[in-house]
Amino acid sequence: MQWYVRHQWQIDLLILGRFGMIGKTIVRGWQLGKTMPAIRRVFLFDAIAIVLVQTSCLTVAVLTHHLWRYLVFWLILERVIGVLIQARDHLEHYGMWSQAAGHQLTQLYSSRNLAMHPMVAWLVGGLNYHSVHHAFPSIPFNRLPEAFIRVETVLQQHHLPALTVGCGYVEETRRLSAQPSVIEVDPSNHLTGRYSILNL
């Protein structure tokens, strides 16, 4: 387990890639399906649609003698998208899990915000204000910067810790990949009363 934690970035980004994200999503969705049966029905419909579409594409590729191009295309797409999505997921959530007093506070303190140039923020849909997006998912992406400032003001008024803000994608990737961590129970944690981040 500790070996995986120490090498989690390399394994998830470069080996598991998009398949790892899909697998994790399926497992979590299936678990939620125990309490929300509608999720499993949606999963079933999605699976049927994916199989039908991919079977059609594969059939066309075989009939037109472009099977290798089709396979190489999906391999490249899976690798590139996998690295990007896994990197974002790690940067926004890695080592951040905490359980606070209430759903919104839990969401605010369980993900990381990233400071970046406005153009880059626009390219990622404003989701660099990720904790605000988690706590208030209905806020449009272009209003997230304003919402972030307002949330910080409210937290300060109630003497609560400020939200975590990282120094952009490159710097945070360098910092987090060099500092593996695992979450363990810690009753003395002042915010959650349950969890703390231990560096390995």
Co-location of 103 and 12 in the same domain: no
Residue-level pLDDT at 185:
44
Residue-level pLDDT at 127:
81
Residue-level pLDDT at 91:
80
Residue-level pLDDT at 49:
92
Residue where a domain terminates, one of 93, 125, 157: 93
Co-location of 145 and 181 in the same domain: yes
Residue-level pLDDT at 65:
92
Co-location of 145 and 179 in the same domain: yes
Residue where a domain terminates, one of 53, 73, 93: 93
Co-location of 8 and 63 in the same domain: yes
Q: Could you tell me the pTM of the whole model?
A: 0.63
Residue-level pLDDT at 181:
59
Co-location of 83 and 132 in the same domain: no
Residue-level pLDDT at 196:
43
Provide the domain limits for residue 176: 99-200
The 3-class secondary structure across the chain, one letter per residue, is CHHHHHCHHHHHHHHHHHHHHHHHHHHHHHHHCCCCHHHHHHHHHHHHHHHHHHHHHHHHHHHCCCHHHHHHHHHHHHHHHHHHHHHHHHHHHCCCCCCCCCHHHHHHHCCCEECCCHHHHHHCCCCCCHHHHHHCCCCCHHHHHHHHHHHHHHHHHCCCCCCCEECCHHHHHHHHHCCCEEEEECCCCCCCCCEEEEEC
Co-location of 49 and 78 in the same domain: yes
Residues (pLDDT < 70) of the chain are 1-9, 13, 179-200
Q: How far is CA 200 from CA 6, 164, 172, 173, 197, in A?
A: 7, 20, 17, 17, 10
Co-location of 103 and 199 in the same domain: yes
Co-location of 76 and 124 in the same domain: no
CA dihedral 28, 31, 33, 39 (to 10 degrees): 10
Residue-level pLDDT at 81:
80
Co-location of 85 and 109 in the same domain: no
Co-location of 32 and 81 in the same domain: yes
What is the token pair recorded at 162?
Answer: 């400020």
Co-location of 8 and 69 in the same domain: yes
Residue where a domain terminates, one of 59, 93, 127: 93
Q: How many domains does the chain divide into?
A: 2
Co-location of 103 and 84 in the same domain: no
